[in-house]
C-alpha cells in the first residue's frame, strides 16, 4: 500500500538509510564501550630499547622515543641498540628493518665512562648529568663511575670542567660470528642443509639439529631456544652424521654465546630503566622542594619588606611629630 502511494525511490533510499543509521548507532556504541585509554604498545617498545637514556635519537630518553615510535617515528634512530634493537623492533611492529640512521651516531662496542681520578676536582657536575645515577661522589671529593651500571651515554663528558672523563670499551658484548656462516661469498664452499634428517637420530638429547641450524643461521634466537638450543651438550655427533658437513656444533656454540650476551644486555637494560626512573623521581622531588623553598623565601622577603616599610613609616611619622612639636614650642 505504502509503496504504491510513495515515489518509487522511497523504498531503496529509506531502507539503505535506516540500515546505515542502525549500523552507525551500533558502531558508535561499540566505540564508546571499547574506548582505548592508554597505549600498551609503548611499554612493549620501551622494553626493547637499550635504556641508555643517551638522547642520541633526539628524544629526552628511551620512553619518549618509544612513544614516538608508537605514533609512527622511524625505528632506526637508536645507535646504542644497533641492528639488534632495530631487528627486534621490526619484528614486534611488523615493519621492515631499516639500516641505522648514521647521522645520529654509529653502533659500536659497549662503552663505559671512566673518571681519571687524579684529575677530578670534585665539582659534582657529572653526578647531576648522569641519567642512571652511576657516578658516586660528593662535592670536593673524588668521584668514580660504577662500571656495571654505566650505560655509556656520554652525557657526563660535556659538563666536566677539567675533561677528566674518558669513554673506554667495556667487555665486548657482540660475539665474533664466524664469517663463513653469514657471508654470501663463502656460502658456496658450504653445501646447503638438505633436510635429510640423518642428524636427528644421532642427537643424544633429542634436539632436531637441522631445524636448530636454520634458526641459528637466520639469527632467530627465540626460535632457537624453543628448539632446545640450551639443551645441546656439544657432543658434535650431528657434525659427524651430516652428509653436507655443516658446522652444526660451531653454530650452536656461537648461538649460545649470542643468546647469553643478549640476556645480559637485557638484564642491564632492565636495571638501567629502573635506575633512570628512580633518578627521575628524585630529580622531580628535588625540583619540587626547591620550588617550595623558593616560594617560602619569596613570601618571607615580602613580609620583611612590609615590616621594614612600616617601621620606616613609623620612624618618619615620629620624626615629623617631633619636628611639629619643636615648631610649636618655638
Residue ranges that bind another protein, judged by CB under 8 A: 3, 11-12, 15-16, 19-20, 23, 26-27, 30-31, 34-36, 39-41, 44, 91-94, 187, 192, 214-215, 217-218
Taking the complex as a whole, the smallest distance from the CB of residue 17 to another protein amounts, in Å, to 11
Q: How far is the CB of 185 from another protein (least distance, A)?
A: 13
DSSP for 170-200, please give it.
-S--S----HHHH-TTGGGTSPPP----TTT
CB 71 within 8 A of CB 45: no
Taking every pair of C-alpha atoms in the chain, what is the biggest distance, in angstroms? 132
Closest to another protein by CB, 11 or 169: 11
Which residue number, 74 or 93, has a Cβ lying nearer to another protein?
93
Grid cell at residue 240: 659427524
Minimum CB separation of residue 244 from another protein in Å reads 11
Cβ of residue 171: shortest distance to another protein, in angstroms?
Answer: 31
User: By C-beta, is 31 or 288 nearer to another protein?
Assistant: 31
Q: Give the dihedral of Cα atoms 130, 133, 138, 141; nearest 10 deg.
A: -70
What is the closest distance, in whole angstroms, from the C-beta atom of residue 122 to another protein in the complex?
Answer: 49
Residue placing its CB nearer to another protein in the complex, 15 or 169: 15
Q: Which is nearer to another protein, 214 or 266 (CB)?
A: 214
Give the span between the Cα atoms of 122 and 294, in whole angstroms.
27
User: For 69, how many CA atoms within 13 A lie in the half-sphere containing its CB?
Assistant: 30
C-alpha cell at 265: 644486555
Q: Which C-beta is closer to another protein: that of 44 or that of 237?
A: 44
3-state DSSP percent of the chain in helix, strand and coil, to 5: 55, 5, 40
Question: What is the phi/psi pair of residue 111, to 5°?
Answer: -110, 155
Considering the complex, what minimum distance in angstroms separates the CB of residue 44 from another protein? 7
Amino acid at each position: 500500500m505504502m509503496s504504491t502511494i510513495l515515489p518509487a525511490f522511497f523504498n531503496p533510499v529509506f531502507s539503505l538509510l535506516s540500515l546505515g543509521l542502525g549500523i552507525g548507532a551500533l558502531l558508535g556504541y561499540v566505540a564508546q564501550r571499547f574506548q582505548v585509554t592508554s597505549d600498551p604498545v609503548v611499554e612493549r617498545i620501551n622494553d626493547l630499547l637499550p635504556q641508555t637514556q643517551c638522547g642520541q635519537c633526539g628524544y629526552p630518553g628511551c620512553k619518549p622515543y618509544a612513544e614516538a615510535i608508537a605514533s609512527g617515528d622511524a625505528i632506526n634512530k637508536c645507535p646504542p641498540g644497533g641492528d639488534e634493537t632495530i631487528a627486534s623492533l621490526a619484528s614486534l611492529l611488523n615493519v621492515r628493518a631499516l639500516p641505522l640512521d648514521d647521522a645520529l651516531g654509529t653502533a659500536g662496542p659497549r662503552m663505559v665512562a671512566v673518571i681519571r681520578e687524579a684529575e677530578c676536582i670534585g665539582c659534582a657536575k657529572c653526578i647531576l648529568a648522569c641519567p642512571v645515577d652511576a657516578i658516586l661522589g660528593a662535592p670536593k671529593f673524588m668521584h668514580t663511575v660504577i662500571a656495571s651500571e654505566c650505560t655509556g651515554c656520554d652525557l657526563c663528558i660535556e659538563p666536566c670542567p677539567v675533561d677528566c672523563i674518558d669513554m673506554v670499551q667495556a667487555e665486548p658484548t657482540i660475539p665474533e660470528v664466524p664469517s663463513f656462516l653469514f657471508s654470501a661469498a663463502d656460502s658456496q664452499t658450504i653445501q646447503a642443509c638438505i633436510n635429510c634428517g640423518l642428524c636427528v637420530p644421532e642427537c643424544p638429547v633429542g634436539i632436531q639439529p637441522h631445524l636448530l641450524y636454520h634458526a641459528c643461521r637466520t639469527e632467530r634466537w627465540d626460535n632457537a631456544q624453543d628448539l632446545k638450543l640450551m639443551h645441546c651438550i656439544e657432543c658434535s655427533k650431528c657434525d659427524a652424521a651430516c652428509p653436507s658437513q655443516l658446522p652444526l656444533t660451531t653454530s650452536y656454540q656461537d648461538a649460545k654465546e649470542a643468546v647469553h650476551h643478549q640476556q645480559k644486555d637485557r638484564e642491564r637494560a632492565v636495571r638501567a630503566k629502573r635506575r633512570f626512573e628512580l633518578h627521575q623521581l628524585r630529580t622531580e622531588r628535588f625540583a619540587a622542594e626547591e620550588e617550595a623553598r623558593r616560594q617560602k623565601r619569596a613570601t618571607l622577603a615580602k613580609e620583611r619588606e612590609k615590616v621594614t616599610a612600616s617601621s620606616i613609616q613609623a620612624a618618619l611619622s615620629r620624626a615629623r611629630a617631633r619636628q611639629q612639636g619643636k615648631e610649636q614650642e618655638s
